[in-house]
Amino acid sequence: MPLEPTPPLALARVAPTAPIRPARHAGVRAATLARRIDALCLHALRDEALAWPKPGLVTPRDAGSHRDMDIRTFLASVTALDGAFAAMAEAGAADAPLADLQQIGIDAELRMRAATAGVNTHRGAIFNLGLLAAAAGLRAAQPARWGGQGCGRIVARRWGAAIVAARAQAPGTHGNAVFRAHAAGGARAEAAAGFPTVHGVGLPALRRLRGAGVDGERAVVGCLMALMARLDDTNLLWRGGADGLAHARAAALAFEADGGVLAEGWTARLCALHEDFVARRLSPGGSADLVAATLVVEALDGQP
């Protein structure tokens, strides 16, 4: 029988070692909104981390295909990021350029690595969710110009060109290595284009599941599998090459074709797929990052 998910672990408070730089100015209303956005982002990261089962990924049950991190690492990282997305939202409200957002992201990554003994748990999430938080702040501060537009579209219009240009300034990342080897766009291309995979795959999958009465971690897992089936996940490419990506996408498509998380015995199927991914050292980290982004977009664009 499939194992039941374990209860969420308590979050340990981690003292920051690098300050999160505040925006140039923020009124009471803007600061309150920024704190709400921060809470939404942190909640999305926790929901993604605690969902089970997820093929190849860290869950409360085990470390998946990872040897340097487990669920406690992830939860400590989330705690360390407290305030980072509020700073992004305040910077967005001040219409800050990408360079200012990047500096906030660097500060957040330093805090993350201090909490995880140097392990990269949420670099992609800092990038994706940070930009979405900044877009929400900008929309609230300038409703006449940006009101009624989704956060993804605002990211593309306000910072998209700068995001593309910034790729040349980070030549040593795994994402850039994969881009050169396989011409897969990765997180930068997704963000610069306004998060089309989030809007075209993640959100529709999540809404279908919500409409079917599915919520909680089951909906999170269903969203993950939909994204895994269609995303050129650079984490999968980095770990398994084109064959590894093709194998993961085919497995996710087959899972969906058989009913996905709505089918009886879905947890047992994903547990078996998890063992297969671990044996192949595959981890769909890019898809997991977009799950969190999907949850954030759903919340931000669904609120006044």
**How many angstroms separate the Cα of 5 from the Cα of each of 217, 261, 265, 286?**
10, 15, 14, 23
147: pLDDT strictly greater than 80: yes
Band (12; pLDDT cuts 50, 70, 90):
very low
Per-residue model confidence as pLDDT tens digits over 115-128: 999 999 999 999 99
Can you give the pTM of this predicted structure?
Answer: 0.87
Work out the pLDDT band at 265, boundaries 50, 70, 90: very high
pLDDT for the residue numbered 176: 52
- Of 250 and 166, more confident: 250
What CATH code is assigned to 28-301? 1.10.4200
Each domain of the chain, given as residue ranges in start order, spans 28-301
pLDDT at 173: 56
Q: How many residues does the chain have?
A: 304
Give, to the nearest 10 degrees, the angle between helix 123-141 and helix 285-301: 20
pLDDT category of residue 29 using cuts at 50, 70 and 90: confident
- One-letter amino acid at 164 equals V
Specify the pLDDT at position 3: 34
